[in-house]
Chains A and B, each alone.
Chain A
Amino acid sequence: MSTRLAREGRFINKNKAVSFRFNGKNLRGVEGDTLASALLANDQLLVGRSFKYHRPRGVIASGAEEPNGLVNLGAGDSFEPNARVTTTELFEGLTATSQNHWPSLEFDVGAINTHLSRFLPAGFYYKMFMFPAPFWKHVYEPIIRKSAGLGKAPKRRDDDTYEHFNINADVLVIGGGIAGLAAALAAGLSGARTVLMEQTAHWGGRAPVDGATIDGMPAEAWVKQTVEALSKMPHVTLRTRCMGAGVYDHGFVLGYERLKDHKPTAAGAKHRLWRVRAKQIVTATGAIERPLSFAANDLPGVVLASAARDYVVNYGVSLGDRTVVVTNNDDAYRTAITLKEAGLEVPAIIDARVTADGELPNQARALGIRVETGKAIAKVAGGKRVTGVSVCAQAGEGAVLEEISCDCVAMSGGWSPVVHLWSHCGGKLNWDADQAMFRPDLDRAPTGADGKAFVIAAGIANGHLFSAEGLADGFSAGRAAAKAAGHDKKPGQAPMAEDVAEAAMEPVWLMPQGASYALRSKAWLDFQNDVKVSDVQLAAQEGFESVEHAKRYTTLGMATDQGKISNINGLAILADQLGAEIPAVGTTTFRPPYTPISMASIAGPAQRDLFQPVRKTPMSDWHTANGAFYEPVGQWRRPYAYLRGDETVHEAVNREVVNARENTGLLDASTLGKLIVSGPDAGKFLDMMYTNMMSTLPVGKCRYGLMCSENGFLSDDGVVARISEDTWLCHTTTGGAERIHAWMEDWLQCEWWDWKVYVTNVTEQLAQVAVVGPNARKLLEKLGGMDVSKEALPFMQWADGTLGGFAARVYRISFSGELSYEIAVPASQGRAFWDKLLEAGEAFGIMPYGTEALHIMRAEKGFIMIGDETDGTVIPQDLNLQWALSKKKEDYLGKRAHLRSHMADPNRWKLVGLETLDGSVLPDGAYAIADGVNANGQGNTQGRVTSTYFSPTLKKGIAMGLVHKGPDRMGEVISFTNIGGEPIKAKIVDPVFYDRDGEKQNV
C-alpha cells in the first residue's frame, strides 16, 4: 500500500496537518503536499478511470506530465474540471472528486468497454458510426456524448478575478531547475533585464532529488544560495508557480502564473497571464521520463521511476512496500537505492540491457538488491492495483520465467527533453540515437524579427542529461542570451557540478521485444486516451503512415496531457511498424500551451461588467432612468424605445412614432459620427470621398451625401455641412464614425499625401439632439436665443447661435419627414440641454423616441438605412440614388467600378416599396419567389425584403425591398417566402409611403 513514511520530505511540514475531501471522504495531508502526494499518503492509489475503456488508473508521475490524475476541483463558483492532482497544491478544505466514471470510482459500468476492447480498436468511431446516416444524430452521438469527456463543464459563473501583465525583458528563462537558475544567474550578472519562470512551487528541479553536487555543496544548498543572489538583483524577476505556456512570433511569450490555486481565500487575481516580449528566451524546461511498454503497464501502482523517488524524497510518501524497478538505463537505479535506503523492499531490478555494471547498478547490488539483466516484464498482475509481475527475457516473446509479487512497479524507458517551448515557434530537432531522444538543434533555432535566433535551449532540455554538463550549458546559454540582447558584461565563473558516471541506456520500445498480440494489445502508450501499442500498429497497417495521420486516427497524444509521456514511445512503435528510422517518421507539431491554462486567464479582466466596453452618450443615465430598452449599435447602447408603465416594446414604439408625427419627438443622436474636414484641398478631397459634389456646397448649407468603396458599393451616408470656406462637417452613421475617419485618413496619408487636408473626429465632442415634429419650432422659440424661422433657417441649412442659453449649432435636416432640427451642443452640456428641452417641451407634448421609431419614420419616408438597404453588395443605382452620383466629376471613389458590366446590368434588383394585400407585416429578409428552380433544385428568387415595419402612421405593414427590375413593375403583386406558412402576397409600390411631396419637413 502507499503510505506516509516516518522520514521527512523536502517540501512538507509534517507537523502541520491539512484536511481535505476526496469523493466525499475526509482525508488528511500535510502542509506542502500536492493533492497527489496527499492521496497517496492515504493509500488512495486509484484516482480515475481512463477515457475509452474506463480502466482503473492511478497516479503515474509527480509533475505536469501526469496523464491519469485528473479531478474535479472545488464546487459552485470555484468549480474547475480536469485539475491535475500532481500539480494541485493541497490547501485546507480542498474538495475534489474523480472523473469519468459511473456510478462510482470503485465500481464503474463503463469498464465493460475494457472487455470489448477487441471491438473498439483504433479508428473505431470512424469505421463504425458512418452508416446509416440518421443513426449518427439520433443514436451514436447521444451515446458517445454521454460516455465521452473527462471533467464536467462548470455550471455557475466563476467567482474569481484574473489579470494580465505586460512586460518586456532582455532575457526570459523558462524553467527553474539548476540549468535555468544558472542561465538566469549568467544573464543577471551580465546586466540583462531577466525574468525566470518556474512552473512548480519549488526551485531546483530534479537535481536535489537526484543528489548532484554543485560548487562543492549539495544541489539543494546551491539552489538556495543562487535564488538568494538572484533575488537581490533589481533587474531580475523570479516567479514560481508560473509556467512558460507558449513561445510565439517575435519573442512573445505567455507565462501562466497561478497565484491563488494553493490559497483560494487570498485576495487578488486567481491567475495572472504574463505577456512577455523577450529579446531572448532560454528554455531550460528539463526532461520527462518515458514509460516502458509492457502488458498491463497502466495498472494503478505502475509508476515512473523518477516519480517513485520524488514522492519519497519530496513528500515522505512511499507508493508501495515492495517495488520492482524495470529499466533500460542507469538512472532508474537511483529509485531502487532511494527506496531501499528509506527502508522499503525492492525485490528486483529488471534491466532490459544485457549488462549493467555502472556505478549506480553496483551501488544497488551492494545494498543487496537483486539485479536481473537482459530481462523484461511480460505482464503485470492485478486489478485495481498491482499484485505482481511476470518476468521474461527481453529478447524473447514473453515466456514467463518467474513471478515476483510486488505492489508497485517503477519503470524507466529513458528521458525525453521537454522541447515543446523550443519547438513552438519553429525550433528544429535532431534525433540523438545514443540517448534515444529528440533534442534541439541549436543551429536551427526559431528566428525573430531580425532574422536571428531568439530561443536557446539549455540543460536537460537541450539534451544534456547530466548535472555537470547541464549546469554549464545553462550558464553559457544565459550568457549568450544576455549578449544577444545587448548585455556584454562578463558574468564571472560558471558554477561546476559533479555527477556519478552512468553507463549508456539502450532503447527499448516494446517489452519483451517480440511481445505477442495479446501482450501488445494490453501495452499502453497513451494512458489518458487509451491508445495501445497494437492500435498504433493497426493504424500503420491501415495506411496512416504519416505521424500526424496516425495521431489523429488513434488519438495518440490528443488528450489533455498532449502525449507528454506517450509521444516518443508511440512514434517509435510507428517507425518500427513502417520499417523506418525514428527521425524519418518525425514528431507531431508542438503547440502551445505547454499544459492547459484557464480560459479566464486568457480573458483576463474582460469579464462581467468589463466584458466589453459599452459606449455611453452624455444622456445615457437619463435613458436608463426612464425606461430605455437598449439595442447595441457597435459598442454604443442606444435606446430602442422608452417603455412607460407596463406597455410592451411594440406599444412604446408606436406611441413614440405617433407622438413625433403629431406633437414633438426628441432623439439622442449623439452617436452619429461627426468629422471635421478642413484645408485648402478639403473640397477636392470630399469630391473624391462622396459620390456627389461637395466642393460646390455653399457655406451655411447642408447636403445629403453618399460614400462608396472603390468597388462601387455603398459604404456610408450622411449630411455634410459646409462650415466655412475651407471647412466641412461630415456626418456619418453611428457605426461609421471610426471607420469613415480611418477611411479618410487612409486616402490622405497613402494616396493623396500632398493634398492639404486635416480631418478631426469630433463625434464625442458634441451631444446632438433631434427635435422633431410639428411643434419643434415652437419649442425652440420658447427656449429662445436664435432665429429658427423658416426664413432665417430654411430646410437643409445650419446656423450657430444660442438656445436657452446653450451655445448650439442647429441643422435644419430631417430623417423623419417632419419639421426637424438637429442641435449640437458641447458634450459636457448635453445632459443639461436634454433636460432643458424636456422641461420646455412639456407644453408641446414632448416625448423622447428610440431607434425603432427613428427607423419606422424613415421607412415611412422611403429613406434608406446603411446596413438595412445595403449589405456591401448594393450600389447607389440599386437604391434609385442616381441623382446623388455626380456626372460632372471626373472621378470619385467607386466611379470606375460603376462602369463595370455587372454594375451597369439592367437586371439588377432595385429598391421599391412593398405593401401586403392584407396589411400585415412582411417577414424581415423574406425572399420574393420567382418561377422555376436553379441548378441545385432550389426555388428561384427575384428579390428580397430589406426593411419591414408596422407603420403606426398608416396603420398597416410597410416594407422596402430590392426586386428584379422593381421600379418598372409598379402595382404588380409578387409572393414572398414565409417560413412555416403560406407565401405572402405583396404589391410593388413607391417606397415613399408618407408625405410624398415633403410638405411636412419643409415648413
Chain B
Amino acid sequence: MSNAVSALDGKTSAGDVTIREDGLRGMISLRGDLGLAKLRSVCTGLTGVDFPKQGQAASTGHQGLAWMSPDEVLVMVPHDAVPDALTKIAKALQGQHHLAVDVSDARAVLIMEGAFCREVIAKLAPVDLHPDAFGPGDFRRSRLGQIAAAFWMRDAACIEVVCFRSVADYAFDLLAAAANGGPVGHFPNS
C-alpha cells in the first residue's frame, strides 16, 4: 500500500562507514520442522537462495533466508509479495504443523557499508567478529548495545542488521555513533 512507511523512512548516515535504513522489507517468521523437504523447497522457491544451515543466512537484494532457531526460518521477500508468499507457504505446508506470520512491519533493516563495518558491530555486540569466526553468510542473533538484533555479512564490507521497529531509532544512532568513533584497527584488513 502506498501509505506504508518503514520505521526510519530510509534515513542515512554518511561517513567512512555508511548506514542506511533499507526501507520496508517483507519478512515472514516461519516456525516448523526445518528438516521437512516441503518447507525447505517452498522457502528456496520464494527467495531464490539456498536453504541456510544452522547459524547462516543467504540473501540477494530483498530476498533471502535466515536461520533463526532450530524451528524457525526468516523468509525475506519484497514487502508487497508477503501475502502471496504466505498463501504459497500455507499451500505447501497444508496438513503440517507450522506457523507462518507476517512480521515485516515489526522489524527495521539497517545496512552498513564500509571497510571497518565489522569493527562497528564489534563495538556493540558480544560476538567474535574476527574474519576467521564470522564472514559472509554467517548470521548471528545477539545484542547490539541494549537491544536484541540480528546481523549478517553480505560481503566483507557490508553488514545487514535487523532489529525491532520500535527501537530502530536507537539502533541507527548507536551504529552511527560507533561508526563515528572510527576504526579500531584490530581485525586484519579492516
Contact = CB atoms under 8 A, between A and B. Distances in A.
A734 to B, nearest CB: 11
B182 A267 contact: yes
Contacts of A680: 97
Interface stretch (B44-52, B58-66, B121-129): B121-129
Contacts of A828: 4-6, 24, 79, 104-105
A792 to B, nearest CB: 24
| Top 3 closest pairs, chain A to chain B, by CB | A827-B105, A615-B166, A832-B3
- Range of interface residues on chain B? 35 or more
B130 interface: yes
7 contacts: A161-B181, A166-B122, A167-B122, A167-B130, A237-B186, A760-B103, A832-B4
A513 to B, nearest CB: 53
B119 interface: yes
B72 to A, nearest CB: 9
Nearest to B99: A758
Contacts of B126: 166, 275
Given A166-B127, A235-B188, A828-B5, A756 B104 contact: no
Given A163-B123, A168-B128, A268 B181 contact: yes
Interface in B16-60: 24, 29, 31-32
A765 B181 contact: no
Contacts of B181: 161, 163, 268-269
Contacts of B79: 828
Contacts of A277: 128
Given A167-B128, A234-B189, 19 more contacts: A161-B181, A165-B119, A165-B122, A165-B184, A166-B123, A166-B124, A167-B122, A168-B133, A605-B123, A605-B177, A610-B177, A615-B164, A615-B167, A617-B166, A676-B101, A765-B104, A765-B106, A826-B104, A828-B5
Interface in A97-133: none
Interface of B is mostly: loop
Given A163-B178, A758-B31, A765-B103, A613 B186 contact: no
A613 B145 contact: yes
A164 interface: yes
A762 interface: yes
Contacts of B71: 758
B123 A165 contact: yes
Contact of B105 (A269, A609, A614, A826): A826
Nearest to A828: B4
Contact of A760 (B101, B133, B167): B101
A806 B170 CA distance: 29
Contact of A763 (B106, B168, B174, B189): B106
A269 to B, nearest CB: 5
Contacts of B173: 609-610
B141 interface: no
B155 interface: no
A252 to B, nearest CB: 10
A897 B124 CA distance: 43
A727 B98 CA distance: 11
B88 interface: no
B99 A606 contact: no
Contact of B29 (A161, A165, A760): A760
B141 to A, nearest CB: 14
Interface in A162-211: 163-168, 193
Contacts of A827: 105-106, 165
A812 interface: no
Interface string B150-180: 0000000000000011111110011001101
Contacts of A275: 126
Contacts of B129: 166-167
Interface of B: 1, 3-7, 24, 29, 31-32, 71, 79, 97-99, 101-107, 119, 122-130, 132-133, 145-147, 164-170, 173-174, 177-178, 180-182, 184, 186, 188-189
A762 B101 contact: yes
Nearest to A612: B146
A584 B15 CA distance: 60
Contacts of B184: 165, 272
B11 to A, nearest CB: 13
Interface in A809-848: 826-829, 831-832
Contacts of A617: 166
Interface in A261-302: 267-269, 272, 275, 277
Nearest to A806: B1
Nearest to A266: B182
B165 to A, nearest CB: 5
A610 B133 contact: no
Contacts of B32: 758
A763 B188 CA distance: 41
Nearest to B119: A165
A827 B27 CA distance: 13
B18 to A, nearest CB: 18
Contacts of B170: 610, 613-614
B65 to A, nearest CB: 17
Contacts of B145: 605-606, 610, 613
B47 to A, nearest CB: 19
Interface in A767-821: 805-807
Contacts of B125: 166
Nearest to A613: B170
Contacts of A248: none
- Which of A161, A167, A618, A807 has the most C-beta atoms of chain B within 10 angstroms of its own C-beta? A167
A167 B186 contact: yes
Contacts of B97: 679-680, 756, 758
A261 to B, nearest CB: 16
A823 to B, nearest CB: 15
A832 B7 CA distance: 13
Contacts of A618: 7, 165
A618 B168 CA distance: 11
A762 B106 contact: yes
Contacts of B169: 614, 616
Contacts of B182: 267-268
A86 interface: no
A760 B128 contact: no
A164 B120 CA distance: 10
Given A616-B166, A758-B31, A164 B146 contact: no
A764 interface: yes
- Which of B98, B165, B170 has the most C-beta atoms of chain A within 10 angstroms of its own C-beta? B165
A678 interface: yes
B105 A164 contact: no
A258 to B, nearest CB: 14
A762 B164 CA distance: 11
Interface string A425-460: 000000000000000000000000000000000000
A742 to B, nearest CB: 12
A829 B99 contact: no
A164 B184 CA distance: 10
A881 B101 CA distance: 34
A72 B79 CA distance: 57
A605 B186 contact: no
Nearest to B134: A168
B165 A764 contact: yes
A678 B99 contact: yes
A863 interface: no
A191 B65 CA distance: 35
A636 interface: yes
Contact of B1 (A612, A678, A829): A829
A764 B164 contact: yes
Interface string A218-241: 000000000000000011010000
B188 A234 contact: yes
A617 B105 CA distance: 11
B5 A760 contact: no
Contacts of A166: 122-129
A866 to B, nearest CB: 20
Contacts of B103: 760, 762, 765
A484 B100 CA distance: 46
Nearest to B122: A166
